[in-house]
A and B are shown apart, each in its own frame.
Chain A
Amino acid sequence: MKYAYFFLLIAGSAYLQSCLAECKNPDGQKLTVPAIYPDYTGTVFPANISAPNFIIQEDGERFQTEIGYDNHIKIRLVKNSPQVQIPLKDWDGLLSNARGKTIFFRITILKNGKWTRYADIENRVADSSIDEYLAYRLIYPGYELWNGMGIYQRQLSSYKETAIVENKSLGDKQCLNCHTFSKNSPETMMLHIRGKSGGTIIYRDKNLKKTDTKRPEFKNAGAYASWHPSGRYIAFSLNDVKQLFHIEGKKNIEVFDLASDLAVYDVENNTMITDRSLSGNQYLETFPNWSPDGKTLYYCRANEYVAGEPLDSIRYDLYKISFNPDSLTFGSPVCIYPASRQNKSVSFPRISPDGHYLMFTVSDYGNFSVWHPESDLCLLNLSSKEMRLMDEVNSNETESFHTWSSDGKWFVFSSKRLDGLWARPYFACFDSETGKAGKPFLLPQKDPLFYDTFTKTYNLPELITSPVTIGKDIISAFFR
């Protein structure tokens, strides 16, 4: 019996030893970096991002991950599982010490009794922080119908996601869309609620109101919006959206406008104005975006839709028009990128907060680039007029909706690169000196396998400086 206890003790301590085993001096080295998912390699992290948990995609029995900078190892995780979940507190400490420095993920794997160390995965921590919150809509990737739907916000320095407003609170499960903020601030925001008793909820100067953007003088209601920097006006596109489905082929759907115009809504006077050059049957105008000084409105324009016309002949150019906020008058439209001449089409123009760059989406035709796998992000330097595809952030799948951070050092965009169906938010740093972006990284999640089982799409990701706290007031305003 004594022997039995003795052997049990030996076996137990051996097991304990193996569980606690970590590697200080590896038996071998590999010159390649290990494969990890999501891809958090060679990127730049904001100084306030939550820990980018990942899974090591290499075989092994035990996995050691050391994270640090220079010669300092600040975090050591040794597990039998390849999942690396970095404690948030340790990660925050690392970020605050490593601002402006390169950090490493040093991975050593025990396989067949031998520890092998891979080449360090290197990332950089930026000096700057990103806006603290990301607002987005979560929906299943359907085409026309919906049931549960909501607009949510995620604190980027943690994994905390809260609902801004969910349609279950609105009775008849209305459609919520187009949440839009002025200068990344939730103090001035709007969103549409479609369906019975729907309307556009506008929050400004601590006041919430519901308005109807479908005015008798216009054929359609307001859709895509952009806040004037003064906070007094909202430029709306008024679209008659249609969709058709392909019988065969990789693309399943085409979304297009039969008609669209632009109008500016005066929040104070509850009036809507337009101009002959922004409305009428001759052209389709959409996706308005104000310049930071509020004197220019950028938008996309195509020739009117003619019944029976092939959909892939509808192509949008990038336009701008001057605006005088005092007299509420517009100048003449000026084409700044005739994409249609190159058989391309522009959508979602977004100007950087310093007014130097304009980021937009380019696809082969149409304006609903979300369903176009070929759609890529493009950058126009407004000073030099140089235009280029942002190859450093684009992929083979859809890159679409994008928003600048309030300081213009970061931007977020939707990409379907993981699987071609679901849009996920990717972030990248931006250097306004060089006009170059860093390698994008996926919104970190507590569970590194989160995106493998999450079947909702992130719609309209918008960076905001602080959380939206008026969710309940939005519901009250809706029922008013």
Chain B
Amino acid sequence: MKRIVFLTSSGLAILFFILYMSILSHILYYHEQHRLFLFSEAYLINTVNSRGLLEYFTDFMIQFFYFPWLGSLLLSLLLASVYGMIAYSTFRITGKTDFLHFGLLPVIYLFLQTLSVDYKISSIVAWIFSLSIISMAVGLSAGRWKYVAAVSGCLLLLTFISWETVVLAAASISLSSLSAYYFRSLKKKRVLTVGFSAMSVYVCAGIYCFSGSYRVGERYMVLARKSAYERNWNKTAEMTEHYLSSGHKNIVMLYYHNIALFHTGRLGDNLLDIPQTFGVPALCFPWRSNSRDTEFGQDVYYELGHWNAAVRWASEALAIWGETAPCLINLIKCNMEIKREAVARRYVNVLKQSLFYRKTAEYFEKELASIRDEPVADNVQIAHFTNGMDILHELEYLCEHHPENRMAFEYYMVSLLLSNQVLNFAQNLYRMKAFDYRKMPKVYDEALFMCKIMEKEEFDKLGIDVNPKTEDRFKRYYELYKQGNRKGLDREFKNSYWYYIHFVSPYGDKILMWKNTKESQMPLGGLEH
């Protein structure tokens, strides 16, 4: 018995470990980023009061996911131990082994559940607690007392674990015990056949369910965010491109893709290599009061140096996700930028109470020593408001007041292009002189040529030249367009601005003149401070 159980448990642990270290690595990362265990009495009391003791234990375990190998090892051992404890309890109750290995069923079920990042790891912890108590009860006691101990243990568990889990854990042991008892007189030769057949069924069913439940998109999204968070922009661009170029439409991926394109110096040239089907929102999320958006929305504003918006989004993320490491770090960084030392220090103090982010907190603490809590210079005579819906207005403001901000400039230009405002784009292109562009980015050139055709009088006033090669390419485009040769256009011009306007833009196929409707609805400035 021991050998079979040991071999099966070890096999499961190794298999899970390999999976969590490879194709499921994003799962552990995601959980680690959404929970932060703090070593403080206040955290214990608050967690137990608001989410329960089980979540406290779960958070304690999840903190070790900080190291992928440790997290994988821990989760693999826990899952494998579910089988081990059922097999052990079965043996203690019946004195026999369950050759049908019913103990594998909950293991496979729990493992498959973990394939979604939204799955609560606390369910696995609940199973472990339930099985541990029952196993201990049946293992330590003799005779009828073992059942009394098991029932008492279950009652104890009910104080912090849902009754469904306790019942399911007990049912798994019961099923396994019944099977062991029923097949107690099985001959050795048949044992192998029965065991092998049962395992084969589980393996096949497991693989089938795994392939159906595995979410590639989720993996790409989590890892793209991870690489963006680590500021590994080449990797971010690579991941997002790989995912989006296979035909998937995902605004979050496109959003990170665009940030990565800017940081790798390719935004103006490669913007339309991936169809920008979402328009401007794929550059900066508009405020939609959507709690899920808060997880990502802050990133672009931080990169843009749009500190107030970054603080706003990060604060909303804190309200939704609580004191997680990314939330705290974002808030520390933003508040350091706007010289709110006392506020940043509070978040540093919280982060310092964690095990693995302590060093990060200490680093910020050193940085904070050089920051004095002082108000951000109120050099703004006219108040400029944002309602989070009109990013063009905000980008224009950033360009106007921070002409050295290259990202603000590129994002402003690209926002104008994506919202079909070609003339406005051309009229703002003079800001480009502040930067060391060696050549006109491809998409800009295509848009300029379009402007030249459609708004010739206005365009001529700007004194901008368009590359003759672009003119030639447009002739070819127009020829195909007139022929209605969509395949040809797809093949040759799918990443051109002309194609975007005609076939992709969510704002229709018309060039728009500047209409800042949102702005006109907002109150004017004039604050006297």
Q: Do A and B come from one complex?
A: yes
Q: In the assembled complex, which residues on chain A have CB atoms less than 8 Å from the CB atom of B321?
A: 147
Whether a CB of chain A sits under 8 angstroms from the CB of B152 is no
Q: In the assembled complex, which residues on chain B have CB atoms less than 8 Å from the CB atom of A143?
A: 312, 315-316
Binds B, one of A80-88, A181-189, A413-421: A413-421
Shortest CB distance A225–B (Å): 24
Question: Apart from A142-B320, A450-B42, what are 6 other A-B pairs with CB-CB below 8 Å?
Answer: A147-B291, A247-B384, A247-B386, A249-B527, A421-B340, A422-B346
Q: Are B319 and A147 in contact (CB under 8 A)?
A: yes
Q: How far is the CA of A252 from the CA of B386 in the complex (A)?
A: 10
Q: How far is the CA of A143 from the CA of B384 in the complex (A)?
A: 18
3 closest A-B pairs by beta carbon, nearest first, are A142-B319, A310-B526, A419-B342
Q: Are A246 and B384 in contact (CB under 8 A)?
A: yes
Q: Are A453 and B42 in contact (CB under 8 A)?
A: yes
Whether a CB of chain B sits under 8 angstroms from the CB of A2 is no
Shortest CB distance A97–B (Å): 31
Q: How far is the CA of A420 from the CA of B376 in the complex (A)?
A: 13
Shortest CB distance B312–A (Å): 6
Q: How far is the CA of A422 from the CA of B319 in the complex (A)?
A: 13
Q: Are A310 and B343 in contact (CB under 8 A)?
A: no
Q: Are A147 and B380 in contact (CB under 8 A)?
A: no
Q: How far is the CA of A422 from the CA of B345 in the complex (A)?
A: 13
Whether a CB of chain A sits under 8 angstroms from the CB of B448 is no
Q: With CB as the reference atom, state the residue of chain A lying closest to B40.
A: A453
Q: In the assembled complex, which residues on chain B have CB atoms less than 8 Å from the CB atom of A420?
A: 340, 342-343, 373
Given contacts A308-B523, A450-B42, contact A248 B346 (CB under 8 A): no
Q: How far is the CA of A81 from the CA of B438 in the complex (A)?
A: 62
Q: Are A447 and B376 in contact (CB under 8 A)?
A: no
Q: Are A245 and B346 in contact (CB under 8 A)?
A: no
Q: How far is the CA of A312 from the CA of B523 in the complex (A)?
A: 10
One of A142, A313, A418, A447 near B42 (C-beta < 8 A): A447
0/1 interface trace, chain A 125-154, chain B, CB 8 Å (1 if under) = 000000000000001111111111000000
Q: In the assembled complex, which residues on chain A have CB atoms less than 8 Å from the CB atom of B523?
A: 244, 307-311
Q: Are B342 and A250 in contact (CB under 8 A)?
A: no
Q: How far is the CA of A26 from the CA of B285 in the complex (A)?
A: 64
Q: Are B322 and A248 in contact (CB under 8 A)?
A: no
Shortest CB distance A170–B (Å): 14
Q: Are A248 and B308 in contact (CB under 8 A)?
A: yes
Q: How far is the CA of A221 from the CA of B529 in the complex (A)?
A: 33
Q: How far is the CA of A142 from the CA of B388 in the complex (A)?
A: 15
Whether a CB of chain B sits under 8 angstroms from the CB of A205 is no
Chain B residues proximal to chain A, CB less than 8 Å: 40-42, 49-50, 287, 289, 291, 294, 306-309, 311-312, 315-316, 318-323, 338, 340, 342-343, 345-347, 349-350, 353, 373, 375-376, 378, 380, 383-388, 394, 397-398, 401, 521-529
Q: Are B380 and A249 in contact (CB under 8 A)?
A: yes
Q: With CB as the reference atom, state the residue of chain A lying closest to B528.
A: A312
0/1 interface trace, chain A 254-295, chain B, CB 8 Å (1 if under) = 100000000000000000000000000000000000000000
Q: How far is the CA of A244 from the CA of B384 in the complex (A)?
A: 9
Whether a CB of chain B sits under 8 angstroms from the CB of A22 is no
Q: In the assembled complex, which residues on chain B have CB atoms less than 8 Å from the CB atom of A450?
A: 42
Q: Are A452 and B316 in contact (CB under 8 A)?
A: no
Given contacts A144-B316, A310-B524, contact A452 B346 (CB under 8 A): yes
Q: In the assembled complex, which residues on chain B have CB atoms less than 8 Å from the CB atom of A245?
A: 308-309, 312, 385-388
Q: In the assembled complex, which residues on chain A have CB atoms less than 8 Å from the CB atom of B350?
A: 453, 455
Given contacts A245-B388, A308-B523, contact A145 B294 (CB under 8 A): yes
Q: How far is the CA of A419 from the CA of B348 in the complex (A)?
A: 13
Given contacts A245-B385, A252-B312, contact A455 B323 (CB under 8 A): yes
Q: Are A311 and B527 in contact (CB under 8 A)?
A: yes
Chain A's interface size range is 35 or more
Shortest CB distance B393–A (Å): 8
Q: Are A250 and B291 in contact (CB under 8 A)?
A: no
Q: With CB as the reference atom, state the residue of chain A lying closest to B293.
A: A145
Whether a CB of chain B sits under 8 angstroms from the CB of A364 is yes
15 contacts between A and B (CB under 8 A): A144-B287, A145-B320, A148-B322, A247-B384, A252-B312, A253-B312, A307-B521, A307-B523, A310-B523, A312-B527, A312-B528, A419-B345, A421-B340, A452-B349, A453-B346
Chain A residues proximal to chain B, CB less than 8 Å: 139-148, 163, 166, 168, 244-250, 252-254, 307-313, 343, 364, 418-422, 447, 449-450, 452-455
Q: Are B378 and A250 in contact (CB under 8 A)?
A: yes
Q: With CB as the reference atom, state the residue of chain A lying closest to B520.
A: A308
Given contacts A313-B526, A455-B347, contact A140 B315 (CB under 8 A): yes
Q: In the assembled complex, which residues on chain A have CB atoms less than 8 Å from the CB atom of B401?
A: 248
Given contacts A420-B340, A420-B342, A454-B42, contact A247 B306 (CB under 8 A): yes
Q: With CB as the reference atom, state the residue of chain A lying closest to B331.
A: A455
For B338, B386, B529, the residue with the greatest tally of chain A CB atoms inside 10 Å of its CB is B529
Q: In the assembled complex, which residues on chain B have CB atoms less than 8 Å from the CB atom of A309?
A: 523-524
One of A246, A454, A455 near B385 (C-beta < 8 A): A246
Shortest CB distance B420–A (Å): 24
Q: With CB as the reference atom, state the residue of chain B lying closest to A309.
A: B523
Given contacts A143-B315, A250-B376, A447-B41, contact A421 B343 (CB under 8 A): yes
Q: In the assembled complex, which residues on chain B have CB atoms less than 8 Å from the CB atom of A145?
A: 289, 291, 294, 316, 319-320
Q: In the assembled complex, which residues on chain B have CB atoms less than 8 Å from the CB atom of A148?
A: 50, 322
One of B347, B383, B521 near A246 (C-beta < 8 A): B383
Shortest CB distance B239–A (Å): 28
Q: How far is the CA of A163 from the CA of B49 in the complex (A)?
A: 9
Q: How far is the CA of A308 from the CA of B384 in the complex (A)?
A: 13
Shortest CB distance A342–B (Å): 13
Q: Are B312 and A248 in contact (CB under 8 A)?
A: no
Shortest CB distance B43–A (Å): 9
Q: In the assembled complex, which residues on chain A have CB atoms less than 8 Å from the CB atom of B342?
A: 418-421
Q: How far is the CA of A335 from the CA of B60 in the complex (A)?
A: 59
Q: How far is the CA of A140 from the CA of B289 in the complex (A)?
A: 16
Q: Are B347 and A252 in contact (CB under 8 A)?
A: no
Q: How far is the CA of A145 from the CA of B315 in the complex (A)?
A: 9
Given contacts A246-B384, A249-B376, contact A455 B311 (CB under 8 A): no
Q: In the assembled complex, which residues on chain B have CB atoms less than 8 Å from the CB atom of A311?
A: 383, 523, 527
Given contacts A245-B388, A310-B526, contact A168 B50 (CB under 8 A): yes
Q: With CB as the reference atom, state the residue of chain A lying closest to B352.
A: A453
Q: How far is the CA of A308 from the CA of B520 in the complex (A)?
A: 8
Q: In the assembled complex, which residues on chain B have CB atoms less than 8 Å from the CB atom of A364?
A: 528-529
Q: In the assembled complex, which residues on chain A have CB atoms less than 8 Å from the CB atom of B386?
A: 244-247
Q: How far is the CA of A219 from the CA of B49 in the complex (A)?
A: 39
Q: In the assembled complex, which residues on chain B have CB atoms less than 8 Å from the CB atom of A244?
A: 385-387, 522-523
Q: In the assembled complex, which residues on chain B have CB atoms less than 8 Å from the CB atom of A447?
A: 41-42
Q: In the assembled complex, which residues on chain A have CB atoms less than 8 Å from the CB atom of B287?
A: 144
Q: How far is the CA of A422 from the CA of B315 in the complex (A)?
A: 12
Q: How far is the CA of A421 from the CA of B41 in the complex (A)?
A: 24
One of A147, A163, A252, A453 near B353 (C-beta < 8 A): A453
Shortest CB distance A344–B (Å): 12
Q: How far is the CA of A447 from the CA of B45 in the complex (A)?
A: 13
Shortest CB distance A396–B (Å): 10
Q: Are B384 and A248 in contact (CB under 8 A)?
A: yes
Shortest CB distance A26–B (Å): 33
Q: Are A310 and B525 in contact (CB under 8 A)?
A: yes
Shortest CB distance A419–B (Å): 4
Q: How far is the CA of A475 from the CA of B384 in the complex (A)?
A: 43
Q: Are A139 and B319 in contact (CB under 8 A)?
A: yes
Q: In the assembled complex, which residues on chain A have CB atoms less than 8 Å from the CB atom of B322?
A: 140, 147-148
